[in-house]
Amino acid sequence: MRVADKMLFNQVSSNLAKNRQQMSELQNQAASQKRLTKPSDDPVAASRVLASRVDLAGNQQYLKSLEYARSFLEFTDQSLSEVSENLMRAKELALSQANDASANEVSRRVTAAEVEQIYDQIVQIGNRKLGDRFIFGGFKTTTPPFALSGEYRGDGGQMRIPTDKGAFVVMNLPGERVFLGRTQEEAPFERGGAPRPLEEEALNLRGPASLGGAAHEVEELETLRAKDQGVSLFRAVRQLEVGLRTNDKETIQDSLVLLDEALSQVVMARAEAGSRVSSLDNVFHSLHQARVDNQIAISQMEDADIFSVVSDMNKTESTLQATLATSGKLIQPSLLDFLR
């Protein structure tokens, strides 16, 4: 077969282009330290990298939301701690004025002034806000939830923060539960958060089959409901204040029971907030671990092995130099050689 000069030229040009293309790709990998610079480099790995990046961005957003929820719960717990301190101080005053033989009408009126200040402080704590949101107002976070009289103007809404796909955590404690002792059954809410009359929640119970057994069951049910009901913190402190101002020792002693129940109610609310913070810490750990795993997976599929790249660059450079040297020897005749 006759090998023409054009065939030699095309072969040399093809080899040089191939070597220079390989050299260019290796130089690009060395400069960017990435094995994947475009989807065509490895379509399967590129799709996995994109999926991992989507998960990484989602985890980052979850972490931001959880950070805010954690600060919200920690501020709630701090506020409830101050409520506990105020209630403990009110209990100390009640004990001193109910059992101390030196207590008289004058000392009780002076103590009543301090109890009034405690009442105002509890109302102020109930109206605290983090940033521009009131923490005890339920869904109504733009208006103060408590009036000075203790009337609740918020709702029982629970703000749910997503922690993962399909998983949520409640980051607030409605003020009606903490300060007024109401349960969700006592204060039902529609989807929009507007309260419904309690009469709408009445259940139509089937009539008793026998009066004896049914009466006993109804009595037990009412007892359980009474045990589930909480106490109003404002009512407990106000009753103590009224007993001190009227110099009524029995009222002061009765207020001690309400103050104990109020303290237990606040402690339970703090325990609930603490359990939520603990669950958030676990979710934080899981999300951080997932973020590290995603970054490792992306690095393994996308990053280039710099030692392998440098070695391939040296090998490709030697091949290119050899191609140039052999090409010069292969295409030696010039136009003058043909004109001789």
Q: What is the pLDDT of residues 216-227, one digit of tens each?
A: 443 443 443 344
Q: What is the pLDDT of residues 82-113, one digit of tens each?
A: 999 999 999 999 998 887 777 788 888 999 99
DSSP H or E segment with residue 51 = helix 43-99
| Predicted confidence (pLDDT) at residue 198 exceeds the cutoff of 70 | no
Label residue 165 by pLDDT band (50, 70, 90): confident
Q: What pLDDT score was predicted for residue 184? A: 55
DSSP H or E segment with residue 272 = helix 249-302
6 token code pair: 């054009």
Cβ proximity of 156 and 176 under 8 Å: yes
DSSP H or E segment with residue 214 = helix 211-228
Cβ proximity of 82 and 126 under 8 Å: no
Label residue 288 by pLDDT band (50, 70, 90): confident
**Pairwise pLDDT comparison (23 vs 216), residue with the higher score:** 23
For the chain, the maximum distance between any two Cα atoms, rounded to a whole number of angstroms, is 138
pTM above 0.75, yes or no: no
Helix %, strand %, coil % of the chain (to 5): 70, 5, 25
122 token code pair: 């509890």
CATH code of the domain made up of 55-188+225-298: 1.20.1330.10
